[in-house]
Chain A
Amino acid sequence: MKIVDTFKKIFFPIEEPYHDFSLPAVDENPSNLVDTDATNEVKEIFPSIDVNMEYIKVKYNLLINSDIILREFLLIARNKQYRAFLLFIDGMTDMNLVNDYVLKPLMLKNSANSFDGSQNQVISEAVTNNITVRKIKKFNVKEYILNSLLPQNNVKMQKEFKEIFSSVNSGNCMLFVDTLDIAFDIDVKGFKTRSINKPENEVVLRGPQEAFVENIRTNTSLIRRIINNENLIMENIRVGKVSKTVCSICYMKNITNDDLVAEVKYRLNNIDIDYLVSSGQLEQLLEDNTKYSLPQIISTERPDKTATYLLEGRVAIIVNGSPYALIVPAVFIDFLESSEDKNIKFQFANLLKIIRIASFLITLLLPGIYVAITSFHLEFIPTELLFAIVASRASVPFSIIFEIIIMELSFELIREAGLRVPSPIGPTIGIIGALIIGQAAVDAGIISPILIIIVAITGITSFAIPDYYLAFHCRIWRFVYIVFGYLAGLLGIAFASFIHLLIAAKVQSFGVSYLEPYIPSKGKLNNGLFTKPIWKREKRDTFLDTKKEDKQEHISMKWRY
């Protein structure tokens, strides 16, 4: 028998079934082309509870969706029973609130609830000539539930399924009652959120130590706590057809330019995407010029910085789920400003600004200038230094351009690796990369020691730039300057600078030129690159064209006079 089996296996092999999965192409599966959501869309809710329940079960895929809770029960109103159900998402709502303040009053009998349901409510009674005149109010179950059975501070009546789903998805609880063509939207949100922590990326020594969190309401409250003014408006707009992410547009009604607010709303209302997860995505969707790597929107995790910008007349956008606020419009000099600048004396702030400008120029130009000078303009270097450079490069077999590109790429690699590795090993990677590999490369004669100094200075200065995106922009453009410096020396650097300036001049942020307040010149400069003494900060930026130009009196320190 075994011999026969073996013979069969060899000469008549049976094809064994195997799992072969491939996604059908869209045109092979026509059902994919139909948007089922759109075809079966029902607008308003039905009076029949069964129909509503079935529709919701289908919509929420209740058979497979584990966290959607649909709780059926009998609602007692004036001794009458109504079929009802609650709809909410487990984890998004506060269960204690649902149990104690929604289900309990609705299900349990109490004295107020126990008289006959068909009785009408007598509002007033008057007897004239033995005729009794009673003013009565017919029993209305909707109003009765709303006014007597739901001890909640925020209850709305919803008619449309769209609104209902939106509320349930954001953590509310929905009450459906048989025979009613409305549902009660009860605010019982209670999901776990991260507590307010210290800012991690915008650390300051003098200033508040609070940072935004992922919850939009917490973030708006953080701003409201700083700006105690009724003119602070926070309008909500939902972005994303599927995710329906809440974005809050914050501005000062009596300060911010109306056109700017309208433009922000227009852009947010006209974003046609399926989902929005972070403020970083929104930033890219809102930018005027997407081709260029220059940052065009300020992104901050600090409520105090956001509040300051709002009071200056700018608009902030907060995205639910993102611990960063976006501030528009932004100009180049904003990205060189730290939150610290407003909190410290103007002399210190300006010194720091000069250091930051120098850092910006060094990180952008130093490697390019090094290549340019060592390739074309050796006469520019003092003779002793020239000898040192030549001696250090004597054993290096590569050209300067190759050497510097290798070193810059290595530096970028170390930086990226340091970010990705688990935090306890991060510093080790930096030390290994910087010290050991660097030293080994110099000893092996692969690179010159002077280049290590150049790359190290470039790296350190890049960290002095307060804005992460601007630092990133410098990292990219550094390579452009290196190539141009290699091609035509300092003339090449001039070519690259000219193109760079052209790009900066081309960029706009919500209609404001990137080089404002200097270019285009308006003959009036309220605020510039450098910080004025606090008593002299009398005006808001001209380019914002705010409703109120003055932000303080000409003499603000009145106690002196």
Chain B
Amino acid sequence: MNYTKLGNFEAICLIVVLFINHLVLNLPQMILENSANASILNSIYILALSLIFVLLVIKLLKNFIGLDIIDISEYLGGKFLKILIGILCIIYLIIESSFLVKMFSKNLFLAYFNNYPISFIIFMFLFVVVVANLMGRKSIIKVNTIIVPIALFSILFTFIFVADLLRVELSLPILANGVKTIFITGASNIFAFNGLFFLFFISPLLNKKEDMSKVAFSSTLICGIFLLLSIIALVFAFSDIYSVIRISPLYFIIINSKLTSFLERPEIIFIFIWALALMSFISVAVMFVLNIFKKLTNMKKVENLAVTVCMIIFVISLLINNVFTLEKIANAFYKYASLILIFVIFTLILIGANIKKKRLDKKQITTNRE
């Protein structure tokens, strides 16, 4: 993909933006549901696992500097695999965006916009995304670089203001349902790092290709630290009630924090920032969808297809009306699709491509000797 070259910071922001949106919506809750009070240990464990995964990916990508996963798929399995992986990525990004926008809009609907239909809120989000994609990739990447740090700061603020509510005794029993749930079944919680999806696409975009490992490790660490902080906040402060929280956990933290003593209902400021983060993520997702599509079809200009992609996202987001069904399906998709696509399929492709490269190199050496 030969579009705007990225600095390290821009690249980190691209990877982190997806994580932020999940963190704001329901990621801590999902992990808490899986591991209960042991989530703190579990999040440290999955951070370690994801760092190992990143190390592996970086090693595997070393032979394919400047290529993304679509190019590597083509190298491994020809056009067929390229198209297959391309379509899978497009579907993943579209569905992920649809569920995120629907869940966020649902939260907004419940909190502030009872008189407006959810479809209007979703429409407004997607309208902005279309404008962003018509403006071009440079603008999207730059805006994302502005919004991600602001969103991270806003999340950090929520933790600062909840600090006085933290009680260590609420985290007990720290091992919760046992070691098995933390280290064996809990390993599946690595899906929390699904922002690494973009790691497989940014290699050709980086200004300095040799900085790939810096970008990957920094973004993983940022995600891990923020995940840990949010879980600590929930476990140490609301351990007894987190299972019944049905709204965004961070939103819940804010409305119960000390911040309210300074401002009346200050959470709206955070909603404002997180809405920006969501717009930024969907813009990035649509941008990647268009670029994968461009790669698959060799089309010259794909920007106008942003309207079509956003319409598909709009339709998918309206498919499920029931809030609980939506939450279930979205969570399942988030968890399993991320695990299968990022941590299994992409890894297998990389391993396969490396094996193929080694064989070809060996062959080359033997022919040269002969």
Q: Which residues of A contact B140 (CB under 8 A)?
A: 502, 505
Q: Which residues of A contact B58 (CB under 8 A)?
A: none
Question: Is B71 located at the chain interface by the 8 A CB criterion?
Answer: no
Distance of A36 from chain B, by nearest CB (Å): 45
**A433-467 contact mask (Cβ, 8 Å, vs B): 1 or 0:** 00000000000000000000000000000000000
Question: Is B136 located at the chain interface by the 8 A CB criterion?
Answer: yes
Q: Which residues of B contact A505 (CB under 8 A)?
A: 135, 138-140, 142-143, 146
With A489-B112, A503-B135 given, is the CB distance from A519 to B265 under 8 Å? no
**B136-154 contact mask (Cβ, 8 Å, vs A): 1 or 0:** 1011111101110000000
In this complex, the interface size class of chain A, counting residues with CB under 8 Å from chain B, is 20 to 34
Question: Is A60 located at the chain interface by the 8 A CB criterion?
Answer: no
B271 close to A501 (CB less than 8 A): no
Distance of B32 from chain A, by nearest CB (Å): 28
With CB as the reference atom, state the residue of chain B lying closest to A520.
B7
Distance of B270 from chain A, by nearest CB (Å): 11
B264 close to A382 (CB less than 8 A): yes
A493 close to B264 (CB less than 8 A): no
With CB as the reference atom, state the residue of chain B lying closest to A489.
B112
B279 close to A521 (CB less than 8 A): no
Q: Which residues of A contact B139 (CB under 8 A)?
A: 502-503, 505-506
Give A487 to B280 CA distance when docked, in angstroms. 20
Give A341 to B7 CA distance when docked, in angstroms. 31
Distance of A63 from chain B, by nearest CB (Å): 58
Q: Majority SS of interface residues in chain A?
A: helix
Question: Is B10 located at the chain interface by the 8 A CB criterion?
Answer: yes
Interface pick from B36-44, B124-132, B233-241: B124-132
Distance of A243 from chain B, by nearest CB (Å): 36
Give A493 to B269 CA distance when docked, in angstroms. 11
Q: Which residues of B contact A488 (CB under 8 A)?
A: 113, 116, 121, 124
**B194-215 at interface with A (beta carbon < 8 Å):** none
* B interface residues, tally (CB under 8 Å): 39
Question: Is A376 located at the chain interface by the 8 A CB criterion?
Answer: yes
Question: Is B336 located at the chain interface by the 8 A CB criterion?
Answer: no
A379 close to B264 (CB less than 8 A): yes
B7 close to A381 (CB less than 8 A): no
- With most chain B CB atoms within 10 A of its CB, the pick from A495, A498, A522 is A498
A498 close to B279 (CB less than 8 A): yes
A498 close to B10 (CB less than 8 A): no
Which of these, B131, B142, B264, B276, contacts A520 with CB under 8 Å?
B142
Question: Is B172 located at the chain interface by the 8 A CB criterion?
Answer: no
Q: Majority SS of interface residues in chain B?
A: helix
**A512-530 at interface with B (beta carbon < 8 Å):** 513, 515, 518-523
Distance of B113 from chain A, by nearest CB (Å): 7
Distance of B366 from chain A, by nearest CB (Å): 44
B272 close to A490 (CB less than 8 A): yes
Question: Is A492 located at the chain interface by the 8 A CB criterion?
Answer: yes
A490 close to B143 (CB less than 8 A): no
A506 close to B276 (CB less than 8 A): no
With A497-B276, A498-B143 given, is the CB distance from A377 to B7 under 8 Å? no
Give A379 to B272 CA distance when docked, in angstroms. 15
Give A522 to B145 CA distance when docked, in angstroms. 12
A494 close to B279 (CB less than 8 A): yes
Question: Is A534 located at the chain interface by the 8 A CB criterion?
Answer: no
Give A497 to B143 CA distance when docked, in angstroms. 10
With CB as the reference atom, state the residue of chain A lying closest to B145.
A519
Give A513 to B113 CA distance when docked, in angstroms. 37
Distance of A515 from chain B, by nearest CB (Å): 6
Give A253 to B95 CA distance when docked, in angstroms. 56
With A491-B271, A494-B272 given, is the CB distance from A379 to B265 under 8 Å? yes
Give A3 to B276 CA distance when docked, in angstroms. 90
**B91-134 at interface with A (beta carbon < 8 Å):** 108, 112-113, 116, 121, 124-125, 127-128, 131-132
Which of these, B7, B10, B121, B143, contacts A502 with CB under 8 Å?
B143
Give A509 to B128 CA distance when docked, in angstroms. 25
Q: Which residues of A contact B146 (CB under 8 A)?
A: 501, 505, 515, 518-519
Distance of B239 from chain A, by nearest CB (Å): 28
Question: Is B9 located at the chain interface by the 8 A CB criterion?
Answer: yes
Distance of A490 from chain B, by nearest CB (Å): 5
Give A381 to B269 CA distance when docked, in angstroms. 13
With CB as the reference atom, state the residue of chain A lying closest to B278.
A494
B124 close to A491 (CB less than 8 A): yes
Question: Is A380 located at the chain interface by the 8 A CB criterion?
Answer: yes
Give A491 to B269 CA distance when docked, in angstroms. 10
Q: Which residues of A contact B113 (CB under 8 A)?
A: 376, 488-489, 491
Question: Is B275 located at the chain interface by the 8 A CB criterion?
Answer: yes
With CB as the reference atom, state the residue of chain B lying closest to A499.
B131
B128 close to A490 (CB less than 8 A): no
With A503-B135, A521-B9 given, is the CB distance from A491 to B142 under 8 Å? no
Q: Which residues of B contact A493 (CB under 8 A)?
A: 272
Distance of A49 from chain B, by nearest CB (Å): 63
With A377-B112, A490-B271, A520-B7 given, is the CB distance from A502 to B276 under 8 Å? no
B142 close to A513 (CB less than 8 A): yes
Give A383 to B265 CA distance when docked, in angstroms. 11
**A59-91 at interface with B (beta carbon < 8 Å):** none
Which of these, A490, A492, A519, contacts B142 with CB under 8 Å?
A519
Distance of B11 from chain A, by nearest CB (Å): 10
Give A506 to B263 CA distance when docked, in angstroms. 35
Q: Which residues of A contact B268 (CB under 8 A)?
A: 377, 380, 490
Which of these, A377, A487, A521, A523, contacts B145 with CB under 8 Å?
A521
Distance of B124 from chain A, by nearest CB (Å): 6
Give A520 to B146 CA distance when docked, in angstroms. 10
Which of these, A376, A497, A506, A522, contacts B112 with CB under 8 Å?
A376
Q: Enumerate 13 A-B pairs (CB-CB under 8 Å) in ascending A order.
A: A489-B112, A491-B108, A491-B121, A491-B272, A493-B272, A495-B124, A495-B275, A505-B135, A505-B139, A506-B138, A519-B146, A521-B9, A521-B145
Q: Considering the complex of A and B, which 5 residue pairs feature the smallest CB-CB distances, nearest first?
A: A505-B142, A521-B9, A505-B139, A494-B275, A506-B139
Besides A487-B124, A491-B113, 9 other CB < 8 A contacts? A377-B268, A380-B266, A490-B272, A491-B124, A494-B275, A498-B276, A499-B131, A502-B143, A523-B7
